[in-house]
Structure 1
Amino acid sequence: MRYGFKNAEEVKETSLKYNLHSWSVQGKLNPAVVEKAEGIYYYTADGKKMADMSSQLVNLNVGYGNKDIIDAIKEQAEKLAYISPAYAIDCRSKLAEMVVKAAPKNMGKVFFTLGGADANENAIKIAKLVTGRYKIFSRYRAYHGSSFGAGNLTGEPRRYTLEPGIPGFVKFTDPYLYHAPFPFESEEQATEYYLGQLRDQIIYENPDAVAAIVMESVTGSNGIIIPPKGYLQGVRKICDEFGIMMVCDEVMAGWGRTGEYFACENWGIEPDMITFAKGVTCGYAPLGGVIVSKKIAEFFDTHKLDCGLTYSAHPLGCAAGVACLNFYEKEHIMDKVKERGKQLGALLEDIKAKHKSVGDVRYIGLFSCVELTKDKATHEPLVPFGKDPEGIMGKIVGMLKAKGFNTYSHEACIFVCPPLIITEEELAENMAILDEVLTEVDKMV
């Protein structure tokens, strides 16, 4: 063991004694001690091999042990480990160019942050600076971060500890068709309904006060909710009508997760801003950012950008980002995601047909979830919104982990978002584990 620890148990005990672990009751924790990792697998100190079927926090797109990124970080650390954001350096300039060129054609510049939450914080500031307005719309089934501004963007229960919130943050309803208020005859009909609701709400809130609509292009940790046909295009049209900024949060869905560099490209959308993080470095170094349109970039040619971070465009993060984006290109990752995504979709549909506990499966690329239900006819979720008093979902995740399938749950959903490098054989082998565990869940329903 390194750092003076005698064994894995001492590592765990020290962690529990001195670390505050996120989103957890500290006294109930029993964290696994991880010693090494390679490809899609990590290995615990007790010798257990775990398939990382959630890519950790849906960020480890290239898996573990990627030499291209590791070597780039090493080289940059030896050359120039840190320099203020005020300076121009090669890796910083190159990554900015690569990010903008990977984005939709209307994009002009990027402001780098440390992660997704502060990307969304700065997108809020930019929208207010450019429009002179103060209201920000976001959706109820959304997670945009846990810092104060991003936490107010967030709609689901993780925002509750921030309340009373910041004035001007307004929530609207997602087009979540599996739990729609009444059955729609088509996706287009659902789109018309939800867009009508949104447009009315904007009018009630005074369009001249609304700076931005912020939404995940594909809702991530709240259930992989894929927008119905025409929905994102309709939001773009509403934003254009009222002079509102359309901000697509691509922190989780971006960088190849859906088979495109950015999920909004699946629907041909050109937002005013895109926020990103996670897959730009795949967790090998912290980095996020806000990509702004050419029009917004031009605004700041003559107006002050009141945004700044000590570690904005950190050299180690930028070096990792350049290597990561080069790896995506070299290994044709977008094509591989489309191919593996078809396999994953077919396996999920088989699971849905087979198991009475599976109400719905949703997937795009390697971004998917299984929604569990008490009753397929009524769509009643296995656990109520915002609550799991008996810890049912935790038990199910524990059953999966016991068989070497690492993932997490949120509400009544189990997530399947493996590294983008996963092979056909690895995907089939691990989905068989999910199938096996769901057979046991069927008995619980």
Structure 2
Amino acid sequence: MTMTLEGARSVAAVILEPVPGANGVLVPPPEYWPMVRAACDAEGALLIADEVLTGFGRTGKAFGYQHWSVTPDIITCAKGLTSGYQPLGAVIVHDRVARYFDDHLLACGLTYYAHPTACAAAVETLKLYDDEQLFANAARLGPVLRRELDAVAARLPGRTFVRSLGLLGALEIEAPAAAWTRLGHELAARKLSLHDDARRGTCVVAPPLCITDDELVYGVRGLGDAAVAAFGAGGAAATATTAAGDAP
């Protein structure tokens, strides 16, 4: 992998989500992140991991990038930092970046910078992650989620793709817009809250990290019932993409 669009050493940084979520949980192949890291090193560019979605256990590790043998220069994070109970984001930098600011002032500030209420929520959230072993729970249940999503895909007609890593998964279903509208109604009737996107043809599953085996199976099978009601039943085998660490 090389950076040629802007010319040699013209790229300051590359910003990537370890697993893009809004685009349908696109789990990269194992060689992708090491290739990006090598390209950044060759060009003197920083590698920034956007861990707003994947950080704090969502993929079964503390941060999503840890599934591959790379270390980013900068990590951006939010969401899981307080579990959504308070608005808070953070930027984590590698020593090689931090050392620059030993002799160079970084003059910046925000109105609610380091707000004590938000920071207190973050401290307690991080403690709960550790006390309740929620990252390990996400890693343990990753194969269960994958197995159940594969089972849903096998019930549907046409081509259905399954992607997952930890407790982040997606079904990509080829179906008309009207069927996706029906899916929304069927999910609501079953009191299931999922991110379904007719435009991209994806249904994203991201259950809470504290979920139990029985709750996860119940929820995904409910999704399967809703999907069959919306898209119809079929017996064709699903086409499943490979997700690192989540063998069925």
Q: Given the two structures, how large is their TM-score scaled by the length of structure 2?
A: 0.88
Q: Pick the aligned partner of 2:30 from 229, 240, 260.
A: 229
Q: Pick the aligned partner of 2:61 from 248, 260, 268.
A: 260
Instruction: Tell me if the contact between 1:357 and 1:441 (Cα under 8 Å) persists in the aligned partners.
Output: no
For residues 370 and 337 of structure 1, what CA distance do their matches in structure 2 show?
Answer: 19
- Is 1:415 equivalent to 2:204 in the alignment? yes
Structure 2 partner of 1:248: 49
Give the number of the structure whose alpha-carbon radius of gyration is greater.
Answer: 1
For residues 138 and 80 of structure 2, what CA distance do their matches in structure 1 show?
Answer: 14
Instruction: Tell me if the contact between 1:272 and 1:292 (Cα under 8 Å) persists in the aligned partners.
Output: yes
1:312 Cα deviation from its structure 2 partner: 1.8
1:333 Cα deviation from its structure 2 partner: 0.9
SS of residue in 1 equivalent to 2:172 = strand
Letter in 2 for 1:298: R
SS of residue in 2 equivalent to 1:362 = strand
Q: Pick the aligned partner of 1:366 from 167, 170, 191.
A: 167
Structure 2 partner of 1:403: 190
1:409 Cα deviation from its structure 2 partner: 1.7
- Alignment CA distance shift 1:281-1:421 (3 Å): same
Gaps of 5+ in 2: 235-248
- Alignment CA distance shift 1:282-1:391 (3 Å): farther
- Alignment CA distance shift 1:315-1:401 (3 Å): same
Gaps of 5+ in 1: 1-194, 374-381, 384-389
Structure 2 partner of 1:436: 225
Instruction: Tell me if the contact between 2:75 and 2:93 (Cα under 8 Å) persists in the aligned partners.
Output: yes
Cα distance per residue 1:356-394 (max 9 Å; x no partner): 255101111100111111xxxxxxxx36xxxxxx56534
For residues 293 and 369 of structure 1, what CA distance do their matches in structure 2 show?
Answer: 32
- Is 1:218 equivalent to 2:19 in the alignment? yes
Letter in 1 for 2:143: K
Instruction: Tell me if the contact between 2:179 and 2:230 (Cα under 8 Å) persists in the aligned partners.
Output: no
Letter in 1 for 2:182: K
- Is 1:276 equivalent to 2:84 in the alignment? no
- Alignment of structure 1 residues 197-212 onto 2, 5 Å: 199=2, 202-212=3-13
Letter in 1 for 2:82: T
% identical aligned pairs: 36
For residues 229 and 265 of structure 1, what CA distance do their matches in structure 2 show?
Answer: 11
Whose helix proportion is higher, 1 or 2? 1
For residues 407 and 219 of structure 1, what CA distance do their matches in structure 2 show?
Answer: 16
Cα distance per residue 1:376-415 (max 9 Å; x no partner): xxxxxx36xxxxxx56534312321111111122321111
